[in-house]
Amino acid sequence: AKQGEIELRRVGVKKILLIICVLEAARRAGVLARCAV
């Protein structure tokens, strides 16, 4: 049971990091778009 919990937690952390990366990239793209306009 513990092994499964660790795996789930690891997957959750990866998803959170991925979301943060996407949001950061979107924010930078928005800033660049604003500067271009």
Q: Supply the pLDDT for residue 35.
A: 77
pLDDT in tens, 1-37: 688 899 999 999 999 999 999 999 999 999 888 877 6
pTM beyond cutoff 0.85: no
Q: Supply the pLDDT for residue 32.
A: 80
Report how far residue 36's alpha carbon sits from residue 26's, in angstroms, rounded to the nearest whole number.
15
State the DSSP code for 37.
-
Q: Supply the pLDDT for residue 34.
A: 81
Q: Supply the pLDDT for residue 26.
A: 92
SS3 at position 1: coil
